[in-house]
Amino acid sequence: MKYIKPTDQKGNHSEDRNFFNLKDEQILHNLIEHTVFQDKAHRILWANKVATDSIHVNLSDIIGKKCYKVWAKSKTSCENCPVEAALESGKSEIGQQTTYDGRGWLIKGYPVKGKDGNIIGAIEYTINITEWTDLEKELLNRTKLMHKITDTSPIAITVLDIEGNIVFSNKRAGEIFGINKNEVLKRQYNSEDWFITDFNGNPFPEEKLPYNRVLTTKKPALNIQHCIKNSSGELKYLSINSVPLFDDSNELVNIISTIDDITEEIRTKKRLEKSQRSYREAYTQIDLYRDIFSHDINNILQNICTSMELLDFYSNDTYKSEHFTEILKIIEKQVVRGGNLSTNVDILSKLEEKSDRFIPINLFDYLKKSIKKLRNNIKYNQNVAIIMDQGEKNYFIKGNNLIEHLFYNLLLNSVLHNKNDLIEIQINISKVINNDGKFINIEFVDNGVGIPQKLIDDISQKSINYNRYEGIGLGFMLIKAIVEKFSGKIIIKNRFEQDPTQGTRFLLRFPEMEPFL
């Protein structure tokens, strides 16, 4: 056993102090750590071979010298020195230092006490961690590079642990979720904040989420599509690919997911599908308009031709001249019907293009215009009695001048489809208040030929086959389209419940609107 005397402040061996008993010197020399015993002034009292070899000297060359001069080539104690800290605190301390030659050191300082319990020096254990530090720096640089690479990715990347916690997120993931990528790390795969649904807004089954599928099968889950709402409430359509990550023992440790924001793609697809439906419907409508127009115009021309033949036949018979007026009435009806048919085709073809800018309009004013227009167009059919029961003269709804075409078509139909000498049209206007709000009711009651019950049922169920019913043409199509455009409702009944041939009750209901002041 070897004993080393501690030194005084001048470097002389102190005879009045107890000798410090070191452990077996051979053991200390075989440690991989640099082991240095120094006094309170940092003078070296002993060092193992690993320590002396690190600077290529013998122990006798450094005894009594300051440690920071020997290893750090410094005139003062190293900044944040663990040995200095241990001497002050009386406890073990640890830290890292880099010496002038660029080497890195992990240093542990342990205070050494004498027999009286006072600190007489410290043992310094030091290990060269230059290689470790270099590896750490390289790993840090690689990590930073990986983060830079993933943050430039247009695809979101996340990593889940086996508990479903998000432990990694790139920048793109934060952008999709509408939060900082560090905030993403505070969430789980199925966070309620995501509001996860399928593309139709229905709840997405938990077991079909990518995390659960990979966790259950230990296999990749590819192209899993669902929606989320980000922090701004914006709906995002996502396509997710998730794969398992195993350790060397083939145990699942992480689930890596790439998340592609396909919102614009889905919206474009939906717009395209909507456009395609619109085109198909437009082609269908064009075919329907063509068929109905051809049918109606042929009827009109046929009626006019028949009337012309009758006129020619009766022109040579003075006793049949009283029929002239009736024939002229027929011709007049067909001419008016033909002119209105042309107008209706034009309005129907432009109805979808027409602006939906609505303003408060007074139904009473437009009714008066429609009645005046009807009387001007039926000079030979003056036996038309129109009675209007309005109560007041202010009935405002949200609409535009299309309402005039609606009223005119209803009035004209009551005239055209009427075989009575006196055509009667009763118009009742009233205001209605119910649980759904305030409404304006306009009822047209005529004594015409009526409407088949089957057609009334079809109209109420919105399943009209226009080719099935005689006399139901473009005029009714226009009426229906305008009512729907004004958020209105059509209710059709027989004038007399037991006899559908004695006229019709045609009720329109529109939401009431306050007029502009």
What domains lie within the chain, and their CATH numbers? Answer: 3-129 (3.30.450.20), 153-261 (3.30.450.20), 272-511 (3.30.565.10)
pLDDT value of position 238: 95
* CA 377 to chain CA centroid, nearest Å: 55
Distance CA 489, CA 441 (A): 10
In the numeric block, the tokens 């009807």 are attached to 374
pLDDT digits (tens, 9 = 90+) for 117-164: 899 999 999 888 877 777 777 777 776 777 776 777 888 899 999 999
Residue stretches of the chain with pLDDT short of 50: 1-11, 13-21, 23, 466-469, 471
pLDDT value of position 473: 61
| Token duo for residue 310 | 């009758």
Distance CA 471, CA 303 (A): 14
pLDDT value of position 310: 65
pLDDT value of position 399: 87
Distance CA 276, CA 371 (A): 41
pLDDT value of position 284: 65
Neighbours of 326 (CB within 10 A): 12
Distance CA 436, CA 372 (A): 34
**8 neighbors 41 (Cβ within 8 angstroms):** no
pTM for the predicted model, two decimal places: 0.44
**495 neighbors 450 (Cβ within 8 angstroms):** yes
Query: How many Cα neighbours within 13 Å face the side chain of 201?
Result: 0
pLDDT digits (tens, 9 = 90+) for 446-478: 998 887 777 666 655 555 554 444 545 667 777
DSSP 116: T
Q: Which residues pair with 446 in a beta bridge?
A: 425
pLDDT value of position 452: 74
Which of 401, 475, 416, 488 has its CA nearest to residue 449? 416
pLDDT value of position 320: 59
SS3 3: strand
Which of 468, 469, 492, 467 has its CA nearest to residue 479? 492
Neighbours of 9 (CB within 10 A): 10
DSSP 57: -
Q: Which long-range contacts (CB under 8 A, 24 or more apart) does 461-469 make?
A: 466/288, 466/292, 467/288, 467/291, 467/292
In the numeric block, the tokens 């039926």 are attached to 378
pLDDT value of position 313: 59
Q: Give the max Cα distance, the chain.
A: 165
